[in-house]
Chains A and B, each alone.
Chain A
Amino acid sequence: MKPRTKRGLAIVGGLAALGAATALVLSAFQENLVFFFTPTQVAANEAPQGRLFRIGGMVEKGSLKRDGVEVRFVVTDTAKTIPVVYRGALPDLFREGKGVVAQGTLGADGVFHAREVLAKHDENYMPPEAAHAVEAAQKAQKTVVK
């Protein structure tokens, strides 16, 4: 083989590998993007049924109920609420009246089945998504009042 053909082959091979990798990455990326919805958006039926997504807001005071391993609580953005059910131990930073983010699917009964309840480990404050949900709801209410 001439050096030139060799180089050509190497370039073609490299590009093919790169193309395959890109295709793999982008399809995996597409499938695993998890979108975020506020309780208001969920109440307006904007969230997909059956697909994994995230909700955020505050844990409503007095809503936490334990039934053995199963736990139920209500997430609110001060305008709308979503009942959430979860199996297992809640993270250390979980508390009533504090911000929370949950990942899971919405059941036909309107209950959010959380697979994961998140509280990031380096945060003393509200999870950003939860803060965003509350902020958006309050902004919306203000404009309605005006």
Chain B
Amino acid sequence: MIPELGQVALSLALAVAVVQAFFPLAGAHGGNLAWMSLARPAAQAQALLVAFAFGCLTWSFVTNDFSVSYVAMHSNSALPLHYRVAGVWGGHEGSFLLWCLILCVWMVAVSLFSAHLPEEMVARVLGIMGLLAAGFIAFMLFTSNPFDRLFPAPPDGRDLNPLLQDPGMVLHPPMLYMGYVGFSVAFCFAVAALLSGRLDAAWARWSRPWTTVAWCFLTLGIALGSAWAYYELGWGGWWFWDPVENASFMPWIVGTALIHSLAVTEKRGAFRSWTVLLAIVAFALSLLGTFLVRSGVLTSVHAFAVDPKRGIFILGLFAVFIGGALLLYVWRTSRIGLGGSFEPVSRESFLLANNVLLAAAAGTVFLGTLYPLAIDAFGAGKISVGPPYFEAVFAPLMAPALFLMGVGPLARWKRSSVPELAVLLRWALAVSLVLGFLLPLLFGDWSALVGFGLALAIWIVITALLSFKRTLAHSRSHYGMALAHIGVAVFVVGVTVVKGYESQEDVRLKPGDSAALAGYAFRLDEVSTVRGPNYVSARGHVSVTRDGKPVTTLYPERRIYTVQEQVMTEAAIDPGLTRDLYVSLGDPLPGGAWLIRVQHKPFIDWIWGGCLIMALGGLLAASDRRYRFAQKAKRVVEATA
């Protein structure tokens, strides 16, 4: 019964979405205020219906209703409750429902925090969001219905993939989708502005906080995914340039470019058509990311042939939304206008360079991710593009971008001069170069690459602080920018040091044996058997000492999940500000010995710390007062409520 209610709610949501798309858009076109005013209530009603459907699916998971095929595929009665709830988005159908739910969350947010916008703009933005929602709900209902029943119902479910049974995996998809779908707001603002033909500074100011908040969520989502891969996959890598990761990274890069380009459009009115294009591309890449990860196309391009309906439907959606937006863009671009002019040495120019570099970076990731798929789809052989390609290309593109991060915020809008910047920056440059040269000596092993990376990080921090000396009026958006830039510096330190000085050893240990790595001694005391709710596990007891003094005891596990007969390595980590110690238990060897991998990862936690700081900086910037004209209107709403 409950699943059928969910199905009905979803169908009603589709009807409401069509209403939400048609009347406000038509009303905005014809100037019909009554039609336009439908946008907000329709968006909120739709959100309620989708939330209800999502609740129904969650209910089916919680009550172990294996007559629902999706539940039978992704849950099991032995699965702990919190993972049953997370199982809702553990597969294809449910993650699209989550996608729609999050679209609704953003729609409601727009409907609530848009009191300061012209009615026409709100109607257009919500109308286009309604169109998106209609497309995706129709996709679910016609090709991947999460409420489909299974007759006869199996006695128990297939269980959730053990890799997904982890707190990080519970949070990662919602965060990522908040980012992906958040870019739809920037996209809808851009399309609405194209429709109205008014792409001005006001439009950029309205889009900025939405874009920044979406970017923060995406940053956190990617960082969570990376941290999850680090501790859950069991072998200590934090980024693999895997297509799944690249799919989330591409919208992030373009989103970063968009944030910076929006700043120029808001402050100086320049870059308008470029900004609009970035907004379209950022959302297009978000759609592509969802599609790549969830369609099965990465597992095999021929997964399409198995269920071509899904692939064709989603490609159709992609073509309609992105193709439509691009057509509109081409048609309207002559009316956009150029905006303020600027000199070759100015903040605009530095931000332009930032955008060019980021766009190039996104292009290289795109090439490396999609080329093998294209080759395979055309039957021209099987190839893969490994991390060496991405590393070889990414570092040279990012190094100048990191350097310019120091110059840009200190340059004046419209016109700056090289001598002035040189005077302002000479000490910062000298200090970063000297420290960059000296700091690697502390690690005992001087390396030019590490020195270069550290020099760039120090340069970013000093210049971020210097930028406060430059202006007297400190706004939240300025603090936010500086904080986000410092986050990048922290991230760069993490990546540089871990790349330069990490070490690992695969060893064969019998209980009582020890291995040495980076000044630490790892002793395997014993291996015991532990039973979990849905797995059996061999658990190593590894005591770690340094110079004879105990540091910690680690308990790496090797679990066997009984339903799917899958082995899982649960690494044990002793985290620290300056280093992680990482022990994973491998295969049992003859003679009672175990294969054990011990790793020393200096500064690795700075990578995720940096991402967290970036996201906090973004949130701080987005909360700037000049975006909050809505405050007044919100208070009125609260008073009447």
Contact B360 A92 (CB under 8 A): no
Contact A35 B383 (CB under 8 A): yes
Which of A21, A31, A36 touches B381 (beta carbons < 8 Å)?
A: A36
Q: What is the chain B residue whose CB lies nearest that of A35?
A: B383
A13–B472 CA distance with the chains assembled, in angstroms: 34
9-residue interface stretch from A74-82, A126-134, A138-146: A126-134
Contact A36 B384 (CB under 8 A): yes
Say which size band chain B's interface belongs to.
35 or more
A132–B381 CA distance with the chains assembled, in angstroms: 11
Given A92-B569, A132-B382: A29 touches B367 (CB 8 Å cut-off): yes
Q: Does A122 contact B (CB under 8 A)?
A: yes
Q: What is the chain B residue whose CB lies nearest that of A54?
A: B384
Q: Does A121 contact B (CB under 8 A)?
A: yes
A103–B385 CA distance with the chains assembled, in angstroms: 12
A32–B233 CA distance with the chains assembled, in angstroms: 25
A47–B547 CA distance with the chains assembled, in angstroms: 49
Contact B587 A34 (CB under 8 A): no
Given A24-B393, A29-B389, A33-B385: A66 touches B299 (CB 8 Å cut-off): no
Q: What is the chain B residue whose CB lies nearest that of A33?
A: B383
On chain A, the residues within 8 Å of B567 by CB distance are: 92-93
On chain A, the residues within 8 Å of B356 by CB distance are: 14, 17-18
Contact B360 A18 (CB under 8 A): yes
Which of B299, B344, B371 touches A128 (beta carbons < 8 Å)?
A: B299
Given A36-B381, A66-B590, A93-B566: A28 touches B393 (CB 8 Å cut-off): yes
Interface size on A, residues (CB 8 A): 40
Q: Does B341 contact A (CB under 8 A)?
A: yes
A24–B363 CA distance with the chains assembled, in angstroms: 13
Q: Does A44 contact B (CB under 8 A)?
A: no
On chain A, the residues within 8 Å of B393 by CB distance are: 24-25, 28-29
Q: Does B327 contact A (CB under 8 A)?
A: no
On chain A, the residues within 8 Å of B589 by CB distance are: 66, 68
CB distance from B498 to the nearest CB of A (A): 19
Contact B381 A69 (CB under 8 A): no
Which of A21, A28, A122 touches B244 (beta carbons < 8 Å)?
A: A122
Interface flags, B389-412, vs A, CB<8A=1, else 0: 100110011000000000000000
Which of B242, B344, B396 touches A6 (beta carbons < 8 Å)?
A: B344
Interface of B is mostly: mixed
Q: Does A9 contact B (CB under 8 A)?
A: yes
A6–B346 CA distance with the chains assembled, in angstroms: 13
On chain A, the residues within 8 Å of B161 by CB distance are: 122, 124
A132–B303 CA distance with the chains assembled, in angstroms: 13
CB distance from B504 to the nearest CB of A (A): 9
Q: Does B508 contact A (CB under 8 A)?
A: yes
Given A25-B393, A69-B595: A32 touches B587 (CB 8 Å cut-off): no
A32–B392 CA distance with the chains assembled, in angstroms: 9
Interface flags, A16-27, vs B, CB<8A=1, else 0: 011001001100
Contact A87 B364 (CB under 8 A): no
Contact A131 B383 (CB under 8 A): no
CB distance from A55 to the nearest CB of B (A): 11
CB distance from B532 to the nearest CB of A (A): 16
Q: Does B234 contact A (CB under 8 A)?
A: yes
On chain A, the residues within 8 Å of B564 by CB distance are: 124
On chain A, the residues within 8 Å of B397 by CB distance are: 21, 24
CB distance from A96 to the nearest CB of B (A): 12
Q: Does B300 contact A (CB under 8 A)?
A: yes
CB distance from B24 to the nearest CB of A (A): 39
A68–B244 CA distance with the chains assembled, in angstroms: 34
A5–B543 CA distance with the chains assembled, in angstroms: 69
CB distance from A39 to the nearest CB of B (A): 14
Q: What is the chain B residue whose CB lies nearest that of A20?
A: B396
On chain A, the residues within 8 Å of B289 by CB distance are: none
Contact B163 A122 (CB under 8 A): yes
Interface centre among B229, B341, B384, B564, by most chain A C-beta atoms within 10 angstroms, is B384
On chain B, the residues within 8 Å of A122 by CB distance are: 161, 163, 244, 299
A88–B386 CA distance with the chains assembled, in angstroms: 20
CB distance from A13 to the nearest CB of B (A): 8
On chain A, the residues within 8 Å of B597 by CB distance are: 88-89
On chain A, the residues within 8 Å of B234 by CB distance are: 92
A124–B73 CA distance with the chains assembled, in angstroms: 12
Contact B360 A131 (CB under 8 A): no
A128–B301 CA distance with the chains assembled, in angstroms: 9
A35–B229 CA distance with the chains assembled, in angstroms: 26
Q: Does B533 contact A (CB under 8 A)?
A: no
Interface flags, B482-517, vs A, CB<8A=1, else 0: 000000000000000000000000111000000000
Q: Does A111 contact B (CB under 8 A)?
A: no
Contact A69 B385 (CB under 8 A): no
Contact B163 A32 (CB under 8 A): no
Given A66-B589, A87-B506, A89-B235: A25 touches B364 (CB 8 Å cut-off): yes
On chain A, the residues within 8 Å of B590 by CB distance are: 66
Q: What is the chain B residue whose CB lies nearest that of A123?
A: B299
Contact B506 A69 (CB under 8 A): yes
A93–B567 CA distance with the chains assembled, in angstroms: 7
Given A10-B344, A24-B393, A29-B389: A34 touches B383 (CB 8 Å cut-off): yes
On chain B, the residues within 8 Å of A125 by CB distance are: 299
Contact A92 B568 (CB under 8 A): yes
Q: Does A3 contact B (CB under 8 A)?
A: yes
A89-109 residues with Cβ-Cβ distance < 8 A to B are 89-93, 103
Given A29-B368, A121-B233: A3 touches B506 (CB 8 Å cut-off): no
Which of A17, A28, A87, A89 touches B392 (beta carbons < 8 Å)?
A: A28
Contact A131 B341 (CB under 8 A): no
Q: Does B584 contact A (CB under 8 A)?
A: yes
On chain A, the residues within 8 Å of B586 by CB distance are: 88-90
Between A and B, 29 residue pairs with Cβ closer than 8 Å are A9-B344, A17-B356, A21-B397, A24-B393, A25-B367, A29-B371, A29-B393, A31-B388, A31-B392, A32-B385, A32-B386, A33-B383, A33-B384, A33-B385, A34-B384, A36-B384, A66-B590, A69-B508, A88-B586, A89-B586, A89-B597, A90-B586, A93-B566, A120-B242, A121-B163, A122-B161, A122-B299, A128-B300, A128-B302
Inter-chain pairs besides A10-B344, A88-B595, 15 sampled, C-beta below 8 Å = A6-B344, A14-B356, A21-B360, A25-B367, A31-B388, A31-B389, A31-B392, A32-B386, A34-B386, A36-B383, A69-B506, A89-B586, A92-B569, A121-B229, A128-B302
Closest 9 CB pairs of A and B: A89-B586, A32-B389, A36-B382, A28-B392, A128-B300, A88-B506, A92-B567, A32-B388, A21-B360
